[in-house]
Structure 1
Amino acid sequence: MIRLRIVCFLPTISFIINLNTVSCNLLSCFDFMIGKKLSTTPIKILSDIGLETCLNQCVDHTYCLSVNYNRHEFICQLINRKKNNNETLLDDWDYIHKELPDIGHQSEKMCGAIACNNYSTCLHTSTGRYVCIATVNGEWGPWENWSSCSKSCAGGQTSRKRECNSPYPMYGGALCIGSETETASCNTNPCSGGGFFGFGK
């Protein structure tokens, strides 16, 4: 029997894997499914965060009941359900799957003594209070000015950018939809003196 010891990038968690057996040095880590993921469409994807933050995001999100966490790319997938008895988790060693314990349905998720509505996220304040904060979806700000054309003739490119900051997405809100950059053709007139053959700028 092969016994592997894998130390994750997360400084507080160490996994010892013996086939499908997992033991951790954190009490909350007992039901982590390493090398497994639930095949479903996530309700939200978060990038560049750690596993602990991923789980906290799931706890705070009104609909989240489990997560798929890509431990190599640090991508967190929030999922609005748990595995049912008629399906199995997929094998994928890039992932860790974790279900929220003791919660079977979204209606059971409490923020202190109350349940947040579908448009709110639960926040734990520094004073020990739990507060439902309304979700803020991101919206695009205005476009910046077009950049200078890349060529003076024979067809160049110009571009402009915008930011998802009007407002920024907050408290679990959705990111802006669409591209942050836009390109267009410019100075399409022919170059004089053989510009099409490389003499034009």
Structure 2
Amino acid sequence: SLGSISIDMVNITAGSSSPMLSSLSHNPQIIRADEATDIIITVVLDDPDRTTGQVQARIAKDGIGSTIQLNDNGSGVDEVADDGIWSGSVLWTPNGGGYARLEAWATDGDTVSPTIAVTINVEGAVDSGGILEELRGDITTVIGGVIIVVILLGGLIMFNRRRSLARDLELIESWGGAPAGAKAGWDATTEVSAADAAMSPMNMDAADNAPMEEDDGKIRGGDLDWDNV
């Protein structure tokens, strides 16, 4: 009526209908390198106004992968239509062992949900039994072990060589062919100390002069007076 006032109140919450994803999973859990695997991907969508028209997922390793369209219409690998669980599958062959990334997002008109992601462990190739991957991981330990073995063998060889040289030197000394202060060298020769080397010429001079000194004390035939004999 004339002069009356009518007031209507509307409560608007912005973003209440934005899609949100959760519980991203994949099957099988074990994925092997260089082996084609049919992977089933599922994710739970929370969409209050049910206007989300597209949910996608991507699986990749080292930047190389595939994008998958998920659905909730009961077709393909999706078991129940309109239950909020979106599903899809992809045949994927990862290149080499390591880690892959699986991520998913939903699109509602111009609105894109936050991306959720999980990490997938890609095991080594079956044909190598994973041995090559294990050796690569423990390469430092293997190299260290080899170095230790080489050092031990070298030390054993050096010890045996020194012991053999010591026996040879003892044998030479028993023959009187080496000075008392000599020792075995690394090149299988006899090392003589500086004092012994200095004494050697003196000993030789003494040996040369000894007969002459003895001769001086002897009477030679020419020294006799044969006329008075």
Which TM bucket (shorter chain)? under 0.3
Greater RCO, CA 8 A, separation 6+: 2
| Structure with bigger gyration radius | 2
**Higher helix proportion (structure 1 or 2):** 2
